[in-house]
Amino acid sequence: MIDMRIQKVTDDISIQRSVDNGTEEQRKIVLEILESVRREGDRALLAYTETFDGIKLDRMRVSEEEIHEAIQSFDPKLLKVLEEAAKNIRRFHEKQRRETWITQDENGTILGQKFTSLDSVGVYVPGGTAAYPSSVLMNVLPAKVAGVKRIVMVSPPDQNGKLPAGVLAAAHIAGVEEIWKVGGAQAIAALAYGTESIQPVDKIVGPGNIYVALAKREVFGKVDIDMIAGPSEIAVLADDTALPHEVAADLLSQAEHDPRATSVLVTTSRTLAEETAREVEKQLEQLPRKEIAKQSIDEYGVIYLAPTMEKAIEVVNQIAPEHLEIVARNALELVPMIRHAGAIFVGRFSSEPVGDYFAGPNHVLPTNGTARFSSPLNVDEFIKKSSIIYYSETSFRQNAEKIAAFARLEGLEAHARAIESRLKKPVRPE
């Protein structure tokens, strides 16, 4: 029996959960793995793969034959779905590209910003019992659009030494040319430090278990990372026009991810609140991942009843959810009032899985309230920005005294003298 909580809005509302930083024992294991891979390279990778994944590999790199075999064995209809999804994702991210810009003032000074793609990126794709082709597309394609030349994918093999056909098919569609059968903290170590076979990368993206997350934390600084993602979350902002069975289905779509996933309904309608609670209980019984979803709803599922839509929106902004659905009258008109949300799904037919898989926007989103200051994975994550400064002589002489004074204000005499040295008449050696 489950009874999704219905409670009135209060001033102190949050869906933040304690971040899983792992145990001290888990961190110790990760540090040992990182150091072992740093010291022993490929030998350590093969040993850990045998220990953790139960397979002794002859070679770690996925061959062209394996990719071809995976594509041939994959359902042709699903292959077309992946191709169309990839097309949508690529098209959306192409709109995020920015070009280097330059300005010149009347004194001849040139200022600008140069955009340069990262040289290399590592993409971690989780393994285990599930396959995540969508994770491949969402992490690889923004990097491709950004212009990253080398993209390395790592993923743990199954007990037959294989990667899921769907994952390999997605990698092929996305244009990944370097794929390795290695997972866990050891894969993160290989991407960060390099081994005899795997060259290091500049940035690591992609989700993983607690050992992967801890490893990413430890190597940050040696390489860049995307984020440490928490459990998934959804908030549905709805009025009395929403249909309870649809709202319940959307809430459960996140609850089935993880026992710590959060599903929230914020509504002005008591009728919708009560009927949605009943629908959640009813639909839950039919789910294959019932036990996971039940724990999630029991511990983190809640329905907030707000007196007005304005107050409901205030609650949503306070929560700052990863996914936000707006199912209400004039839903589009409410969007400008939303300040904090990873992705905003507007209208009845914009169910969260539309964005997860197919529409085009990235499904790698800020969780645990971090949408207050973070953005979805995007092309900018794979680009560096360099400032360009060309000061003309005219501008220099106009401003030299001010710059030197500013330097002395901070007690940096050598800075001031570097400026003033250019005001003196140059003495050329004869």
Which positions are catalytic?
322-323
| Token code pair at residue 13 | 């509302």
Using DSSP's 3-state secondary structure scheme, residue 323 falls into strand
> And the tokens for 204?
């690591």
Q: How far apart are CA 342 and CA 364, in angstroms?
A: 9
Q: Is 149 exposed, middle or buried (0-12, 13-18, 19+ CB in 10 A)?
A: exposed
Contact yes or no for 170/206 (Cβ under 8 A): no
Q: Which two tokens stand for residue 235?
A: 């908030």
- 8-state DSSP, 405: H
H or E, element range at 64 = helix 64-73
Q: Are 178 and 197 in contact (CB under 8 A)?
A: no
Residue 251 backbone phi and psi in degrees, to 5: -60, -40
Q: Which residues pair with 205 in a beta bridge?
A: 123
425 vs 399: CA distance, rounded Å:
17
The alpha carbon of 237 is separated from its chain's Cα centroid by a whole number of angstroms, namely 23
Q: CA 209 to CA 189: how far, in whole Å?
A: 15
Between the CA atoms of 194, 200, 206 and 211, what dihedral angle is there, to the nearest 10 degrees? 30
Total residues belonging to the chain: 430
CA distances to 22, 36, 43, 69 from 48, in Å? 20, 10, 9, 26
Q: What is the rounded CA–CA span in Å between residue 258 and residue 210?
A: 13
Helix (H) or strand (E) holding 272: helix 270-284
Three-class secondary structure of residue 151 per DSSP = strand
